[in-house]
Structure 1
Amino acid sequence: MPLIAGLAFSGLTTDSPISIVLLSTSDPSFVQVSSSTLGEDLSATAKSLFPSKPVSIRLALPSFLDRPTRKPILQAFKKAELEFPELAEVIQLAHISITTKDHTPRNEILFHFSPTFAICRLVSTFVEEGIRESTPLKQTTVTFDALSPDINAIIAQFVESAQATLAADEKHGTKIERIIVVNPNITSTEATLSTWNQHQQSPIKLVTIGFPSVALEAAKTALNFYESDRRLVIPHIPVIYRIGIVNADGFVYAFIPRHLVVPQSHSATFTTSKDDQTQATVSVVIGESPRGEENLRVGQLVLRDLPKKAKGGLAIRVTVDVNDVADVSVTAEDVESGLSEKTIIRNFLGERHWDELLEALETYELNEEADVGNVNGGLPE
């Protein structure tokens, strides 16, 4: 039974709680909820969370994470040989889970509390025909120095600053409709409630949400995307970035140029780059730089046990196939002996490598298509 996984991370320090929800792609009644804690090795933790490998994973993470901070999380899932996860914010999913009815613009405050920090966000939300639009007006991240921070004081302080923000610019109105806290253990004293409401004509509504509910929303959205992808049949889609392999000289030979419509299949013949070379490595990259190291490597195969011959004495035919569901298969074959190896890269053109791709592409200025290399180029060992 193919599974969809939603995970909510309360924090990113060792022993921080993780909520896990598994849904089924074939059984709408199947819902499995569990919990774990973050170990020192995130890869080992990720591998231990699931009874079988999910076909899709969505992570709910703290909203302050930038791409360099997310990178080790994504690499840990790749190392655990799991599906490359989609990412979302804890407070965003919490907000989505309880925003079900259409309404005119209203001001709301969202809080994500973890053992070591609090994220506080003021938003103006508008929902029409099920489409939700939230405009961020103010955000603060508070790091805890004490083991038991005064959570109510943090909430009251941010509410007061949020009210001041609204009062200074009345474009979105001055009233705060609701406070949403991702932490089921929040309690409020009369004094705190009084502080929250002192500038309001009507009380502010307080809603608390547990991390399992956030994980459930993550799983639901992952399932929706998964089912949409399966229903969506696109006979011809364009390649956003060039697909190529790296020659022995470190430059890229382009198999599938940028903007070419797939499905496509292209082949080229290469030679060995050294005397007595017994293996040839085919590194598959995407990107626009002519230099292999400045692109994103997404796959690799090694053709071994080649007969020893002088440099250039072997002809190795490499074929790259991209099908209509964005899977890429790469085959390398010794033309004389028929010895071959093949690798398949799933969902090559989807979102699974997006963070890494952006990082690779930002290391140099994007150029127009540059096809450096030729069919007489050599393959590295």
Structure 2
Amino acid sequence: MPLIAGLAFSALTTDSPISTVLLSTSDPSFAQVSSSTLGEDLSATAQSLFPSKPVSIRLALPSFLDRPTRKPILQAFKKAELEFPQLAEVIQLAHISITTEDHAPRNEILFHFSPTFAICRLVSTFVEEGIRESTALKETTVTIHSPSPDTNAIIAQFVDLAQAALAADEKHGTKIERIIIVDPNVTSTEATLSTWSQHQQSPIKLITIGFPSVALEAAKTALNFYESNRRLVIPHIPVIYRIGIVNADGFVYAFIPRHLVVPQSHSATFTTSKDDQTQATVSVVIGESPRGEENLRVGLLVLRDLPKKAKGGLAIRVTVDVNDVADVSVTAEDVESGLSEKTIIRNFLGERHWDELLEALETYELNEEATGGNVNATLPE
């Protein structure tokens, strides 16, 4: 029975609690909830979480973790030979799990309490036709030094800050509709409802949920992602990130756009970038940035012994093929002479360092896709 896993981490320090929910791809009634703690050996911990390797995993991590702090857990999953996990924020999944009906824009405060930090976030959210949009208006992180922190004091202090922020910018209104707390001490997948009132304010609806609820939402979203991909691409697979080559000007020519279903084959004609250029370099990259250096290079091909001609005097045909198991074949051919070179990048993502790709994507957070460029693009030496 193929399994889908959702995990919620309160932190990435030794003995931090982990909530795990396993769902089945074939049995909708199956749901297994468990709790554990993070050991000193992260890869051993990762292996111990599952009775068998899940086909899809989503990790919910605290938003205060920066990339270097998250990197070891990703490396641990790779070392344990598990599926590369999708990532999400604990506080975001918690919010999604209890936002199920359409509503007009409203102000809400989210709290994520962990043993060492409290994340406090004011958001304006609306849901229309099942699509949720949330805008962060104010956020702060509070360091917790006591094993028994005064959570009410932390809540009261941030509510004051939130109300001051709303009063200063009235376009979102001044009313706070809900307070949502993610509490690692709650062991149920059910949310509890109550009210919160301080400083003579009108009571605010208070919802408290535990990490099992967050892990369940992580598993549900991972299952939806897995099933949508299977419906979309059986027996094929989608390209997760754009595949391109780097022009002489340093920008990326996109051969295979992201999310395109493979197998695929695309060709384009390039020219030389210098007079008397006797070799052309084809640098294969994956990523999202239009600049070649801001992506992850996964392969290199050099077409040598080209005849000397003026700049732009040669036509070099480059073909990128991706087969149904994500092997990438790149061929460069001098159209006039027939001289050619070919390289094959086996399972180009499976054998690569995912953390390197994540580093490139996180360092250069660009939403724009590099365009296909023009057919007279040039190749460097």
TM-score (norm 2): 0.68
Unaligned residue ranges in structure 1 (runs of 5+): none
- Local SS of the residue matching 1:13: coil
Distance 1:84 1:193, change over 3 A: closer
Aligned match of 1:308: 308
Pairwise CA distance, 1:357 = 2.3
Q: Deviations over 1:317-357 (max 9, x none)?
A: 99996225745589999999999999998985799977632
Name the CA distance, whole Å, in 2 between partners of 1:222 and 1:190.
20
**Residues 194-203 or 265-274, more deviating:** 265-274
Pairwise CA distance, 1:167 = 1.2
Say if 1:290 and 1:372, in contact at 8 Å, map to a contact too.
no
Distance 1:122 1:294, change over 3 A: closer
Say if 2:195 and 2:203, in contact at 8 Å, map to a contact too.
no
Pairs within 5 Å for 1:232-271: 232-233=232-233, 263-264=263-264
**Residues 312-321 or 158-167, more deviating:** 312-321
Q: Deviations over 1:221-253 (max 9, x none)?
A: 000011111111499999797869999999999
Distance 1:236 1:149, change over 3 A: closer
Say if 1:243 and 1:254, in contact at 8 Å, map to a contact too.
yes
**Residues 51-60 or 228-237, more deviating:** 228-237
Name the CA distance, whole Å, in 2 between partners of 1:140 and 1:168.
17
- Local SS of the residue matching 2:36: strand
Pairwise CA distance, 1:106 = 0.7
Name the CA distance, whole Å, in 2 between partners of 1:360 and 1:172.
35
Aligned match of 1:320: 320
Name the CA distance, whole Å, in 1 between partners of 2:24 and 2:371.
44
Name the CA distance, whole Å, in 1 between partners of 2:371 and 2:189.
67
Pairwise CA distance, 1:77 = 0.9
Pairwise CA distance, 1:156 = 1.1
Say if 2:193 and 2:208, in contact at 8 Å, map to a contact too.
no
Say if 1:111 and 1:181, in contact at 8 Å, map to a contact too.
yes
Aligned match of 2:178: 178
Say if 2:192 and 2:208, in contact at 8 Å, map to a contact too.
no
Distance 1:319 1:104, change over 3 A: closer
**Residues 328-337 or 53-62, more deviating:** 328-337
**Residues 141-150 or 234-243, more deviating:** 234-243
Name the CA distance, whole Å, in 2 between partners of 1:236 and 1:86.
20
Distance 1:307 1:40, change over 3 A: farther
Name the CA distance, whole Å, in 2 between partners of 1:175 and 1:60.
29
Say what the alpha-carbon RMSD is for the aligned residues: 7.9
Aligned match of 1:33: 33
TM-score (norm 1): 0.68
Unaligned residue ranges in structure 2 (runs of 5+): none
Distance 1:361 1:57, change over 3 A: closer
Pairwise CA distance, 1:71 = 2.0
Name the CA distance, whole Å, in 2 between partners of 1:190 and 1:49.
22
Name the CA distance, whole Å, in 2 between partners of 1:369 and 1:263.
21
Distance 1:93 1:334, change over 3 A: same
Report the count of equivalent residues: 381
Pairwise CA distance, 1:122 = 0.5
Name the CA distance, whole Å, in 1 between partners of 2:64 and 2:27.
35
